């Protein structure tokens, strides 16, 4: 163990020499890494590496706060005003700066405080005896990330991703200091009123962490400085407060470096969907490849020739008409198969869909909420506000038609309140449970995926398994299906998980670029060489990427028996189509992406002609069995002999083939006639199963 000595070292030297404490999102230590690697926002580490930090707020006896302006020579966030001192506890020094869990539990955090004393001396020339360890008060922790896009532009290769320990301290007004010119350009003692004036002056730049701390916490603490420093009134040793950065600090080279190809290959259409949609390529079959499948061309032409859809919604009611119009605009896939449902069910499902789409829009918007607590409150209270108050609306959230949906949500509320009491109870209950689940995950750092398969399954349950539960209950509540459908709720959950896992696997790059990935770490870390999820997007790691992809596809395929068992129970033909078509599209997507390297350069789509043909042939159980049989056999035939998951993949495919073989034969004449009779209502479902 040695003593830290920064004399004669440049900012570049510190980046290489200093080892910060690497963390998981729960502030548990997972190792140590130099500042250079931890602060690089590049492909492979789009948010750098999460590490521990501290922010010192130093006050004089008059209650004035000492601000510093970071030096122009600083590599990250130069020329910005911020709190007194911001830096990192380091690993490997004699006066330990590494805190144990018990140090946090009692609020003593001696490691962070040792680091604060060291950096106050280095940056500001404040003697250690003027800032004794016992004078610091630990208050709370915040987890944030921020790309330094203000300094380095949208392709910024630098940023901060920290769990920041906030420390307050009050010192004698005669404090002596000598700022280090390579660290600090200026210092200033300010009152709260003076600081507000500075922050309102657009000529001043501010660090993103300081803005978050001031807006969320420090103002109240400053106004009650004695209580903040000398009592435990504001100390919080339990919670980690999580924040998305201001809009100008999102992005960075870790994102833009991966989407340069996408910018050329995809049209970014802000009217369609927030997040990374349109920023990565959509990979689909070319015209020649499509024309080589004559049967699919025939199926597509059949759709085109059949004309208008049937619509069982009441178009005379203005609120229902709005819902019908919005359904067609925001679903991109489900509109036709919902509208063709029996009249006593169609309106209920439209409302259910639009309510959950509104909830999903709040969850997906990564730019509208500077304070994540606002988003969490909206999600957890959506069922109590949007479904109760006919005047409720939400402005400035989402993009395109989703934004319009939330701005004019009162029409959805009105139709919801006109439904039967049973349907209202189902929709409200699912909205409540889904909102709570979404809130749990928006507070997590998902830059590197979910932490485990358990978390992955739990997320899929919240956002899709609950949909299966709600749909089943609506089928029964409206009398379309019998009570026996409620006896095995795990089957409905599996239906939802099968769809959601397919989407998550296919959308690897899109989700990664958006900063919210869902591939589980206990799976992908088995295959990764660098320990970073983003490496799979790089060509040199392609073999490892495919092995991980194939394991996740295999995990999804294990749900097939439950999905088939659920569909065996459906009796109403329109409800059957409504349930069956997404499932067939899902297994077709899994067959398309299995062992397919294109997953790591864009979003892979199945051929539209193939989608049309599957819809034509999925009108009953025999039809979907035929497709599941064929597609599972196709995956099994392509399993690489050396794939680490080869035996398991072969096994789950065999189970699917065995389950579907008795009815997995060529279409008979009677079945074809049954399917073609109601096919016109399914045109838009040819594009079904887009996330």
211 is catalytic: no
pLDDT for 661 beyond 60:
yes
Distance CA 680, CA 455 (A): 40
> What are the residue ranges spanned by the domains of the chain?
11-256, 292-687
Q: Exactly one of 41, 353, 459, 576 is catalytic; name it.
A: 459
pLDDT of residue 673: 35
Q: Nearest-CA neighbor of 507 among 677, 290, 657, 283?
A: 283
Left (φ > 0), alpha (ψ -120 to 50) or beta: where does 153 sit?
left
Closest CA to 159 of 30, 276, 54, 249: 249
Q: Is the pLDDT of residue 422 over 70?
A: yes
For residue 158, pLDDT over 80 is answered with yes
Distance (Å, whole) CA 347 – CA 477: 13
Predicted pLDDT at 665? 41
Q: What is the structure's pLDDT at 495?
A: 96
**Average pLDDT estimate for 340-363:** 93
CATH number of 292-687: 1.10.600.10
Q: Of residues 141, 211, 250, 516, which has the active-site annotation?
A: 516
Span 375-395, mean pLDDT? 95
Band (pLDDT 50/70/90 cuts) for residue 297 is low
Predicted confidence at residue 334, as pLDDT, reads 72
* Mean pLDDT value of segment 210-232: 94
Determine the Cα–Cα distance for residues 246 and 237; give it in Å rounded to an integer: 26
Q: Which residues contact 336 (CB under 8 A, 6 or more apart)?
A: 309, 681, 682, 683, 684, 685
Q: Of how many residues is the chain composed?
A: 691
Q: Do domains 11-256 and 292-687 have the same CATH topology?
A: no
Q: Is residue 607 annotated as a catalytic residue, yes or no?
A: no
**Three-class SS of residue 514?**
helix
Q: In this predicted structure, which of 2-6, 68-72, 102-106 has the lowest mean pLDDT?
A: 2-6
- Strand, coil or helix: 452: coil
Q: Which of 57, 382, 578, 600 is catalytic?
A: 578
Band of pLDDT at residue 294, cut at 50, 70 and 90: low
Lowest mean pLDDT among 43-57, 190-204, 248-262, 323-337: 248-262
Residue 73 has pLDDT above 70, yes or no: yes
Burial of 637 (0-12, 13-18, 19+ CB in 10 A): exposed
Q: Exposed (0-12), middle (13-18) or buried (19+): which is 34, by Cβ within 10 Å?
A: middle
Local confidence band at 390 (pLDDT 50, 70, 90 cut-offs): very high
Q: What are phi and psi of 57, to 5 degrees?
A: -115, 110
Give Cα separations from 87 to 72, 165, 307, 405 (angstroms): 16, 10, 66, 44
Q: Which two tokens stand for residue 96?
A: 């330990």
- pLDDT reported for residue 308: 37
Q: Which residues pair with 188 in a beta bridge?
A: 67
Mean pLDDT for the chain overall: 86
For the cut 70, the answer to whether the pLDDT of residue 474 exceeds it is: yes
Provide the angle, in degrees to the nearest 10, between the axes of the packed helices 542-557 and 621-637.
150
Instruction: Tell me the H-state helices in 507-620.
Output: 508-514, 521-524, 542-557, 560-569, 573-593, 608-616
Cα–Cα distance, 209 to 193 (Å, whole number)? 20
* pLDDT band at residue 271 under the 50/70/90 scheme: very low
The rounded distance, in Å, linking the Cα atoms of 41 and 155 is: 9
Q: What is the C-alpha to C-alpha distance for residues 319 and 325, in angstroms, rounded to an integer?
A: 10
pLDDT tens, residue by residue, 513-552: 777 899 999 999 999 987 788 889 888 899 999 999 999 9
CA angle 624, 486, 473 (to 5 degrees): 90
For residue 590 the two structure tokens come to: 């899994």
Phi then psi for residue 225, to 5 deg, are -60, -40
Would you call 459 a catalytic residue per the annotation?
yes
**What string of DSSP letters covers 339-403?**
HTS-HHHHHHHHHHHHHHHHHHHHHH-SSS-SSHHHHHHHHHHHHHHTTT-TT----S-SSHHHH
pLDDT digits (tens, 9 = 90+) for 25-67: 889 998 899 999 899 887 667 788 899 999 999 999 999 999 9
Burial class (CB in 10 A: 0-12, 13-18, 19+), 483: exposed
Would you place residue 688 in the very low, low, confident or very high pLDDT band (cuts 50, 70, 90)? very low
Predicted pLDDT of residue 263: 39
Is the pLDDT reported for residue 205 higher than 80?
A: yes
Which CATH number does 11-256 carry?
Answer: 3.90.79.10
pLDDT of residue 264: 41
Q: Is 508 a catalytic residue?
A: no
Instruction: Report the range out of 146-150, 229-233, 256-260, 611-615 with the highest average pLDDT.
Output: 229-233
Confidence band for 649, pLDDT divided at 50, 70 and 90: very high
Does residue 641 have a pLDDT over 80? Answer: yes
> Is the CA virtual torsion 293, 295, 299, 301 positive or negative?
positive
Residue 194 has pLDDT above 90, yes or no: yes
SS3 of the chain: helix, strand, coil, percent, to 5: 55, 10, 35
């Amino acid at each position: 163990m040695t003593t830290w000595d920064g004399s004669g070292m440049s900012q570049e030297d510190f980046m290489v020499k200093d080892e910060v404490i690497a963390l998981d999102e729960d502030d548990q230590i997972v190792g140590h890494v130099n500042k250079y690697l931890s602060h690089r926002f590049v492909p492979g580490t789009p948010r750098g590496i999460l590490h521990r930090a501290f922010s010192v707020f130093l006050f004089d006896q008059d209650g004035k706060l000492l601000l510093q302006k970071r030096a122009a020579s600083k590599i990250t966030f130069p020329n910005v005003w911020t709190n007194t001192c911001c830096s990192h506890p380091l690993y490997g020094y004699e006066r330990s700066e590494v805190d144990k869990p018990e140090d946090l539990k009692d609020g003593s955090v001696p490691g962070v405080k040792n680091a604060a004393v060291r950096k106050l001396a280095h940056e500001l020339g404040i003697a250690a005896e003027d800032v004794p360890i016992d004078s610091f008060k630990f208050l709370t922790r915040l987890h944030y990330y921020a790309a330094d896009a203000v300094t380095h532009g949208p392709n910024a290769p630098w940023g901060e991703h920290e769990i920041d320990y906030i420390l307050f301290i009050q010192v004698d007004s005669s404090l002596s200091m000598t700022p280090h010119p390579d660290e600090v350009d200026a210092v200033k003692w300010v009152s709260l009123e003076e600081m507000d004036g500075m922050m309102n002056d657009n000529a001043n730049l501010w660090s993103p962490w300081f803005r978050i701390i001031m807006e969320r916490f420090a103002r109240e603490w400053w106004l009650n400085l004695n209580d903040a420093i000398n009592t435990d009134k504001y100390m919080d040793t339990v919670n980690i407060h999580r924040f998305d950065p201001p809009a100008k600090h999102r992005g960075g080279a870790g994102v833009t470096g991966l989407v340069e190809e996408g910018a050329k290959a995809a049209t970014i259409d802000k009217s369609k969907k927030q997040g990374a949609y349109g920023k990565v390529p959509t990979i689909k079959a070319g015209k020649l490849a499509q024309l080589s499948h004559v049967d699919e061309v025939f199926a597509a032409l059949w759709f085109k020739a059949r004309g208008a859809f049937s619509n069982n919604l009441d178009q005379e009611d203005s609120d229902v008409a709005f819902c019908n119009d919005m359904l067609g605009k925001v679903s991109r896939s489900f509109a036709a198969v919902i509208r063709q449902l029996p009249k006593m069910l169609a309106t209920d499902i439209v409302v259910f869909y639009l309510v959950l789409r509104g909830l999903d829009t709040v969850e997906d918007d990564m730019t509208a909420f500077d304070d994540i607590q606002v988003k969490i409150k909206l999600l957890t209270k959506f069922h109590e506000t949007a479904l109760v108050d006919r005047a409720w609306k939400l402005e400035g959230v989402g993009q395109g038609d989703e934004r319009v949906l939330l701005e004019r949500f009162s029409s959805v509320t009105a139709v919801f309140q006109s439904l039967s009491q049973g349907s209202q109870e189902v929709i409200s209950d699912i909205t409540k449970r889904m909102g709570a689940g979404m809130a749990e995950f928006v507070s997590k750092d998902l830059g590197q995926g979910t932490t485990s398969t358990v978390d992955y399954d739990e997320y899929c349950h919240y956002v899709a398994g609950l949909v299966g539960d709600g749909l089943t209950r609506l089928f029964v509540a409206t009398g379309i299906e019998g009570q026996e459908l409620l006896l095995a709720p795990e089957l409905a959950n599996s239906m939802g998980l099968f769809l959601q896992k397919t989407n998550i696997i296919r959308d690897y790059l899109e989700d990664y670029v958006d900063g919210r990935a869902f591939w589980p770490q206990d799976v992908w870390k088995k295959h990764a060489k660098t320990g970073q999820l983003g490496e799979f997007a790089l060509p040199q790691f392609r073999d490892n990427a495919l092995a991980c992809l194939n394991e996740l596809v295999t995990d999804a395929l294990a749900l097939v028996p439950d999905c088939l068992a659920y569909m065996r129970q459906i009796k109403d033909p329109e409800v059957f189509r409504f349930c069956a078509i997404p499932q067939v599209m899902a297994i077709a997507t899994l067959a398309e992406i299995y062992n397919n390297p294109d997953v790591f350069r864009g979003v892979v789509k199945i051929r539209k002609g193939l989608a049309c043909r599957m819809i034509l042939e999925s009108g009953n159980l025999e039809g979907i069995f035929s497709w599941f049989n064929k597609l599972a056999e196709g995956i099994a035939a392509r399993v690489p002999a050396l794939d680490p998951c080869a035996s398991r993949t072969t096994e789950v495919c065999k189970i699917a083939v065995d389950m579907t073989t008795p009815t997995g034969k060529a279409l008979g004449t009677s079945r074809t006639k049954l399917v073609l009779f109601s096919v016109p209502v399914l045109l838009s479902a040819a594009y079904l199963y887009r996330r």
